[in-house]
Structure 1
């Protein structure tokens, strides 16, 4: 249920953080490396920011897009990802109605590298390690600019197939005098049910120089709190040919498309409510010193603290033995399961992150023509770093099954969301009554991770002070060490506990998902109870089990050398610029797994095979590595004073996901009679390699008006896919794992065995050997991706009005075919996208209305894909300068309450239909 009450949190003036932000000049850098040429560009307001970004694009070698701050401490959007989506070819993924990762030119988040001030930064998460940190974890107010490098360059850190994205923060010598800003705003989230509808966000920056400009200090900080809610309708996935075919009417299947008459069954039908609270703290301290005219030393410390908690309650049921009718594609759209049960789940979720980075940069002008830059940093990211690393508590209540007295359940999936059918007339009272509920299971999951990066970089640039086409030579060395250590714990147990001490209440569905037609046909009630309280009762009843703990880690060391040459010359009296370079990278990988040996399988009941471990930890280590040579060539020519044409070629790499490199083998919840699935990592994975070609034509008019068209093509090899191999796995003693559920003696002796079973419930050598479906990541697929980027921005004279429009078309040489069940790979993130922005500004007022659209795309691929429907969102921002110091502003995100919908192979195979509501930020900003 939505709650639109405005609870005003006191935002005392004493909490304002005095600080300095971006002055009215921003430093636009052509490259992410330390040897970049620097040009000072005046930035003021929307028009100034767009003009500055256009100038960066014009002066860059290769294809580069940029965003710069509009004013001191004022970035175009409240979230970095939401600003980046305004760039041609950049799309975002959203989490809880916030941008959190980007896709570039159709390549999803895992194919892009994000750096901070040219440094590769670690990130951590309970979902596993990643190579690029999440945009939600850094405040936009502290950012000076962002550059998106769509073509490879020798001096840019390798790792981005789609793009390399560099986030720049400010330094005190950027300003040369005292600068400060402070901002306070209330975040008004209309989705809030539990918590406060208005939460505070404070930010500020202060910068000054001393000792005649030879020493400078900059301190910035941002503190944000957000409460939010989310309504979800969906399923826990779709499974091919699950169920008794004799109970499934498949006569509607079009056999010309679906020759094997495959049908897909949903695991569940679900309605649930998420209530979340998020706290984020960012801070950065930068010290600069110029002991001589030739040396500048910069030391910095960057801190991020991020914590998010969520409480979820879910009404659901499982389709264990369904009857149903398929549509022409094979999707079960009318499903019925008699004499079953309802499930009422509760979650409590906690994720904590701590990021710390120490850096040192020394610039030395060795001579008039030669400059060196040394940059080192030691950075660490920790997720759930506390002793108690449990991030997820899960509990489930259900109706006990009665022969002939259960709940009849069903669903119709022909609409945007399913119509839910529940008939509990055979149960005395109601299926929702506490008296008709029993405990089912509890689950606790823990994941602790430490991701560290130590990086050293030495860059040099020689500038030709004489005549000649060669203008400069750039060269350098980089050494990067990535170390990831993680520990995962898991507890899962069916329990029988008394519910008298559990607080259980019911509430109606209310307005959950009311933006979807048919929401009145969902579950009529939710059950509210606490997963933590449920597990406390499990603990008191002594029904906790010993958790299984596994440790995984990887060490990746990369040494790089590069050299590039810049030329300026003429062709038929037309100015020509050339950049030619090559980068050499050598990478060594060592990964390990520590886990207990599998001693047996325990047949508990018809729904569970419990994995029994021997309690003895064993370590397994495997190594790998590769070497790559990455050339680049950039050509640009001024056809006229306003018209530039470009051609670029580059070879880039995308490194395998760190989680793929763990060598351990995991059994994935085996069930009696199957499926028997397992997963295993692969430390010998090779990087993706891409040969990239770009041709562009760019027009630069007066006062920042521009237009451009770019054609790009990428030839990508070594895409990683999950390969399914059928093979036997072994117990710790080396004998094959056998299936106790196949023996009638086990089924008769263990109708509901305990976690300490008798021998009849355990695997025996005479039981059938299990053939497992083992999923292992391998390098397998190649793809050709090409597309067009169209961009225009225009200022209507001196009226104050302006507009920006861009559109990206992306194609791949092999499209996803939903009927091909053995198709191993589909490129995630591939989609067309577009933006339309209109704005007005004068000396005091700024108003901007933006629409962002992204076409349908595959979010993840596997046995069954996750596809996101096309999505468009309107955002509005406005600010008014009361005087030269103080301004007030308002931002509106998702004005029209747009929703997101994800499905599997076909649109009727709903996975998630989510609704968030609009969000507003209202605040005041001061600059000094």
Structure 2
């Protein structure tokens, strides 16, 4: 213990203030420990948060560009349980979540952020088709520090439009001399799942002066609650329509305001409530060997391995209209008057509907993901203490991401309400779900029996209501719906998935030469050769059957109401839940967060059903078929040359420092995509093992060829960074740069689909080209931006800071979906007859501008008396408005996707000699998720404002052991998604509160 208590507390308060600020990514300025100490005053050994803060401060203070740093408080201990959750505390950084955990990052309104590992490209298994990793598969315990560089230098690897994130690991010769060992055991649980989760981590390292090693291993098994309710469809898809769009959902609409005109409102295809969990098993191992071979030459070898097995299991109830056009009667909503000159009339946001549901489906599904990556680095460095230093580095990475989804649909309704009866090969006809709930006569909006155009009853349905009330969904359904197991029958199952593999090879040479020239301190220069190969396969599971005529066919959707080609009989027999084949898989569920009015519903438990073996039992002749339209290969080669001058000096009494340089990048791409042909009324066949098969339901396109597209482009990217000390403790920074990034490879590689129609004009069997669509465009230009940054920093007292930064981004290119005219598409006989085929595809267009500012403040409250001097506060605010080429329902300009215009962080922290605590709140304003094409009508899909509250505490039992507690999402805040207008709700996403307790030991 220190012998001077007052000195101890002052140092401690200063360290806490500075440290928490750096953890949040706010710039800081600090004196060295030696400068602070006075003669005769005992030195304090800085550990934990204080040590991490001083390291971060040193990096921040000395950087010539805008860099924010998060440093682990100890071996394997970032401030938050995930890397991305720590990053959200950085001013200007916004995050996306997956099952409640941080997964992806945006900086200053752009998701085009590159992530590096120790300064080089990181090949992530979470996103092998892009440069921005999904960081959910990386244990945070493997990272020693995270750097966020908002203004790149010419020496920075290119790939992020608004910033770059660099993950750093421990290197042996940076450790304290001798052995270092750390281990941690974590126990965790969730407020909904209530599983007994655990994680273990162990680190050992040795620094022998001229050689050393590190080995870090981490394993965790967490189960995360991730429920949802609202409209039918997946997380990032919705099934909606406008009732007056007669070609899509051909209903007449409603005259909601009695003015004699049909009004615009949303027609939902269905409403759903789902209980689901994500189980994530993460393994991470990284190690390194480092040798000081001579006084001038050192050798470093590193390996970084991650493996994550994820299972997302869902049990959900879906109440739908089975794609009919008049199954809901909307209750009067709020009127939105159309602006003058708008293409559409007034809009009504509806929150409550009377329903005549034609199908009620207990759905069970499981998505299995297996992600694995290995990144290696071999580095030879030269530094003899002279003017010239150099490094030769070879980086290799391999990654794979295999995904399989298995879905089982059961009916509670008998199926006669919407598709009548199924015909079986023996000629009998039965309801799709024999013995299911039959319902009652459908009702019109005035409560009278609903009639068809012939004046007859429209038939039976599940009559009730559904409403969005507050932040939840309220059902009013018949009490006997689903009350007995005899009503349930399995009517459908299918398998599909993706397999992705990628490799990365980089060879680079980096050097620096000190200069003895006025104001010029050194020149950095280097070359880099990189190759990235990606092979991406999308697949569907096909069953091989015969129809009544003896014709072989393949079918994707194994459905009781799906007919065989040409003959129409069913390909799937209904299996009742009481059948011994599946009875043991049946479970009951009644817990749906935010949902009322749904009783106990029976499901097939996806945790008990193995999708692959179950499908093989039902359909012995089935196989996985590559879905050609979404499968592709891309080879990317880059050649980079860079040079940078570093300078420092004084303008009068104003010291300055900085750099100016450029990167030249030559990019060459070769994209192999598939050409697919749309199915034509059962005439289309495919060949498997030498046999021709008709294409049955759920199978839209077949592969008719491939095409290889080369593409290349050059980029010259200047970068300037300048820091000026305008007064003692006052710093002014300026940065200018141009940046570029590659598109997600899906946007390049996904294929061309040609729709041909049969005609007798050109002879028997000739199908002529009608339309085409190209989901990927291999000729796209990269996305490019010009960035300008101006920031001011005022350091006051011990750990006090006020900072403000203004930034500007000109998005020179962005992506939209548009139509092009093609003249090179041949008819089925190889002859080009249509030289103006309208083809939808992605195109590059000029983007919008982003202007914003950031403000940060932090201060240790050491001026307060007694106990309160150990407290501190940190706060920051980011304003990042944006504008894109996308338009909304009335043609209004929309912002960039996934960007919140406003974001705040507020943190209160406390630390004394043994105990520390941090309470952190994050708030984001609404964000545009995407623009949906609702049957030809653009509709903005928004996420409502969100906030997050977390708490972490740590107590040092002694110099070796500490106990830690973390509470995540303490308020169990939910995410709400809406369509166009705030009261036009779409979905609610619920994530649970997580509580973690860990015991750490450091030797």
Q: Do Structure 1 and Structure 2 share a fold, with TM-score over 0.5?
A: yes
- TM superposition shift of 1:444: 0.9
In 1, the alpha carbon distance for the partners of 2:742 and 2:46 equals: 36
The residue that corresponds to 1:417 in the other structure is: 472
CA contact (8 A) 1:722 1:824 kept: no
**SS of the counterpart of 1:56?**
helix
- TM superposition shift of 1:421: 3.6
In 2, the alpha carbon distance for the partners of 1:372 and 1:651 equals: 26
> Equivalences for 1:347-358 in 2 at 5 Å?
347-358=365-376
In 2, the alpha carbon distance for the partners of 1:438 and 1:732 equals: 45
Is structure 2 residue 658 aligned with structure 1 residue 654? no
> Equivalences for 1:146-295 in 2 at 5 Å?
146-175=146-175, 176-192=177-193, 197-210=195-208, 213-235=209-231, 236=233, 237-242=238-243, 247-252=252-257, 262-295=264-297
In 2, the alpha carbon distance for the partners of 1:926 and 1:457 equals: 39
- TM superposition shift of 1:818: 3.5
The residue that corresponds to 1:855 in the other structure is: 925
The residue that corresponds to 2:537 in the other structure is: 487
In 1, the alpha carbon distance for the partners of 2:357 and 2:113 equals: 50
- TM superposition shift of 1:433: 3.6
- TM superposition shift of 1:816: 6.8
The residue that corresponds to 1:375 in the other structure is: 393
CA contact (8 A) 2:362 2:601 kept: no
Q: Tell me the TM-score normalised to structure 1 length.
A: 0.83
Q: 777-786 or 435-444, which moves further after superposition?
A: 435-444
In 1, the alpha carbon distance for the partners of 2:385 and 2:493 equals: 68
The residue that corresponds to 1:871 in the other structure is: 946
Is structure 2 residue 407 aligned with structure 1 residue 390? no
Is structure 2 residue 915 aligned with structure 1 residue 845? yes
In structure 2, relative to structure 1, the CA distance for the partners of 1:180 and 1:529 (3 Å cut) is closer
**SS of the counterpart of 1:488?**
strand
**SS of the counterpart of 2:79?**
coil
In 1, the alpha carbon distance for the partners of 2:81 and 2:391 equals: 33
In 2, the alpha carbon distance for the partners of 1:254 and 1:361 equals: 76
In structure 2, relative to structure 1, the CA distance for the partners of 1:260 and 1:205 (3 Å cut) is farther
CA contact (8 A) 1:358 1:377 kept: yes
- TM superposition shift of 1:343: 1.4
- TM superposition shift of 1:430: 3.6
Is structure 2 residue 789 aligned with structure 1 residue 694? yes
Q: 398-407 or 477-486, which moves further after superposition?
A: 398-407
Is structure 2 residue 325 aligned with structure 1 residue 321? yes
The residue that corresponds to 1:303 in the other structure is: 305
Specify which of 649, 655, 676 is matched with residue 575 of structure 1.
655
The residue that corresponds to 2:353 in the other structure is: 335
The residue that corresponds to 1:36 in the other structure is: none
> Higher Cα Rg: structure 1 or 2?
2
In structure 2, relative to structure 1, the CA distance for the partners of 1:821 and 1:431 (3 Å cut) is farther
Is structure 2 residue 461 aligned with structure 1 residue 406? yes
The residue that corresponds to 2:551 in the other structure is: none
- TM superposition shift of 1:359: 1.0
CA contact (8 A) 2:128 2:399 kept: no
In 2, the alpha carbon distance for the partners of 1:694 and 1:343 equals: 54
Could you give the per-residue CA deviations for residues 763-782 of structure 1, whole angstroms, max 9, x where no partner exists? xx9xxx9x999542211241
Specify which of 782, 790, 802 is matched with residue 707 of structure 1.
802
The residue that corresponds to 2:849 in the other structure is: 784
In 2, the alpha carbon distance for the partners of 1:557 and 1:431 equals: 58
In structure 2, relative to structure 1, the CA distance for the partners of 1:821 and 1:813 (3 Å cut) is closer
In 1, the alpha carbon distance for the partners of 2:754 and 2:271 equals: 26
- TM superposition shift of 1:437: 3.7
CA contact (8 A) 1:107 1:830 kept: no
In 2, the alpha carbon distance for the partners of 1:908 and 1:543 equals: 49
Q: 365-374 or 563-572, which moves further after superposition?
A: 365-374
Instruction: Give unmatched runs, 5+ long, in structure 2.
Output: 1-18, 23-31, 35-44, 336-346, 418-458, 542-555, 561-571, 685-695, 758-769, 864-868, 934-938
In structure 2, relative to structure 1, the CA distance for the partners of 1:872 and 1:43 (3 Å cut) is farther
> Equivalences for 1:706-785 in 2 at 5 Å?
706-724=801-819, 733=828, 775-785=840-850
> Equivalences for 1:595-614 in 2 at 5 Å?
600-602=680-682, 610-611=698-699
RMSD: 3.4
Could you give the per-residue CA deviations for residues 124-178 of structure 1, whole angstroms, max 9, x where no partner exists? 35x8722122222222222121111111211111111121110111100002332
CA contact (8 A) 2:848 2:885 kept: no
In 2, the alpha carbon distance for the partners of 1:522 and 1:773 equals: 47
**SS of the counterpart of 2:178?**
coil
Instruction: Give unmatched runs, 5+ long, in structure 1.
Output: 1-25, 30-38, 738-764
In structure 2, relative to structure 1, the CA distance for the partners of 1:253 and 1:89 (3 Å cut) is farther
In 1, the alpha carbon distance for the partners of 2:262 and 2:897 equals: 25
Q: Tell me the TM-score normalised to structure 2 length.
A: 0.77
Specify which of 515, 518, 521 is matched with residue 468 of structure 1.
518
In 1, the alpha carbon distance for the partners of 2:830 and 2:33 equals: 70
In 1, the alpha carbon distance for the partners of 2:871 and 2:50 equals: 9
CA contact (8 A) 1:487 1:552 kept: yes
